[in-house]
Amino acid sequence: MAKKRFSGPKYANGNHKAQQKAYNKTNKGLRMRTAANKLNKKLGTNGNGDGKDASHTGPNTGKLESPKKNRSRPRRNQKYA
């Protein structure tokens, strides 16, 4: 089976919007998204405008750090930061 090619608008990180939308509906994408939202709420940074990201340092654990520092870390084949 050939891989589906996505075209059209992209996010700043290079992901195609259609591809990301499809991925978020899969079981794996849903689990990752709900875990991230749960940690953001636990750390109290959800929607408060403090400009911080929840850095996932382990299962159900994390810390607050700047988005630049959090997103710059390469995560190839790593489950956590």
6-42 pLDDT, tens per residue? Answer: 777 877 777 788 888 888 889 988 887 888 888 888 8
- Domain ranges in the chain are 17-72
Q: Sort 25 into a burial class: Cβ within 10 Å, 0-12 / 13-18 / 19+.
A: exposed
Q: Considering only residues 68 and 11, tell me which one the structure prediction assigns the higher pLDDT.
A: 68
Provide the whole-model pTM. Answer: 0.57
Rg, Å, the chain Cα set: 14
pLDDT of residue 42: 86
